């Protein structure tokens, strides 16, 4: 499931829709992806408006194997949605069930706010004078300076440019390296 909070960054969400879409269409192990938000229409950071397939409160969380969360811009209302208790409870439910969770860029702050990064290695947006990393540390995360960090079925990353790599890594964790290699090749990536 891909959660789409208001003000999310389009590129970060599109990485998951493309990678998982290609897996469904061309992979050896098809994987579906469902989008969910708190409202019927969600305005993104860069002026797109998208229609999530479902409202978060209307879906059965037990029917999903993983959760993905893009980052976004505070000025566009990202944290109003990302820190909403319905999203935080969803993050906690996936974590308590031992399912994979992937967050790109400042999406990691939602995971921290939900309380699932306490004592875990994680990362988030690395610019802006380190402001977002200090925020993440306040949630109890052991912030490390790496592009992508994996700890206890949680993936976090530093910036929008990591989104495709995070999506590929999540696909690999869910389906294996062979399927991921096929999807990468079909999408035109060279290993």
User: What would the mean pLDDT of 157-161 be, rounded to a whole number?
Assistant: 97
- Residues of the chain with pLDDT > 90, as a percent, come to 96
Give 55-87 pLDDT, tens digit per residue. Answer: 999 999 999 999 999 999 999 999 999 999 999
Residue 147 has pLDDT above 80, yes or no: yes
Q: Report, as an integer, the average pLDDT of 23-30.
A: 95
Predicted confidence at residue 191, as pLDDT, reads: 66
Banded model confidence at residue 24, pLDDT cuts 50, 70, 90: very high
User: What b-and-e string marks burial along 51-62, b requiring 16 or more CB atoms within 10 Å of the CB?
Assistant: ebeeebeeeeee
pLDDT value of residue 111: 98
pLDDT of residue 190: 81
Cα dihedral 122→128→134→136 (10° resolution):
-40
The CATH fold of domain 2-186? Rossmann fold (3.40.50)
Residue 109's H or E segment, with its range, is helix 107-113
Does residue 148 surpass a pLDDT of 80?
Answer: yes
β-pairing verdict for 142-143 and 121-122? parallel
- What's the pLDDT score for residue 88? 98
């Amino acid at each position: 499931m891909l959660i789409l909070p208001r003000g999310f960054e389009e590129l970060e969400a599109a990485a998951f829709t493309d990678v998982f879409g290609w897996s469904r269409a061309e992979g050896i192990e098809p994987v579906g992806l469902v989008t969910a938000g708190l409202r019927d229409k969600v305005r993104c950071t860069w002026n797109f408006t998208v229609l999530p397939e479902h409202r978060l409160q209307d879906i059965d969380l037990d029917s999903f194997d993983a959760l993905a969360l893009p980052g976004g811009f505070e000025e566009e209302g990202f944290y109003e949605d990302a820190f909403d208790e319905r999203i935080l409870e969803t993050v906690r439910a996936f974590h308590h069930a031992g399912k994979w969770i992937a967050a790109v860029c400042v999406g990691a702050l939602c995971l921290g706010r939900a309380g699932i990064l306490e004592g875990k290695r994680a990362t988030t947006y690395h610019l802006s004078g380190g402001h977002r990393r200090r925020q993440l540390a306040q949630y109890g995360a052991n912030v490390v300076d790496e592009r992508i960090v994996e700890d206890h079925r949680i993936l976090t990353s530093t910036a929008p440019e990591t989104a495709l790599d995070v999506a590929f890594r999540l696909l690999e964790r869910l389906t294996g390296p062979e399927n991921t290699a096929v999807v990468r090749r079909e999408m035109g990536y060279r290993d």
